[in-house]
Amino acid sequence: MSENYQPDVKLDENPNGTVSFATEVVATIAGLAATEVEGVASMSSQNGGLADMFSRKNTRNFTKGVRIDLDGNKVTVDITIVVEYGSPVPDVARSIQENVKKAIETMSGLDVHAVDVHVSGVSFEREQRANAELDEQRRKMLEKSEAEAETSAQEEPAEAEEPEAEEEPEEEAEEADDEEEDAADGE
Contact, 40 vs 84, CB < 8 A?
yes
Q: How confident is the model over 170-183, as pLDDT tens digits?
A: 555 566 566 665 55
Q: Quick one: which of 9, 51, 73, 75 has its CA closest to 65? A: 51
What pTM, to 2 d.p., does this model score? 0.60
CA 113 to chain centre: 33
Q: How confident is the model over 97-131, as pLDDT tens digits?
A: 999 999 999 998 889 999 999 999 998 887 777 77
Please state, in angstroms and as integers, the Cα–Cα distance from residue 46 to each residue in 26, 70, 86, 127, following that order.
19, 19, 22, 24
Q: How confident is the model over 40-87, as pLDDT tens digits?
A: 988 987 655 545 545 544 446 778 999 999 887 889 999 999 999 889
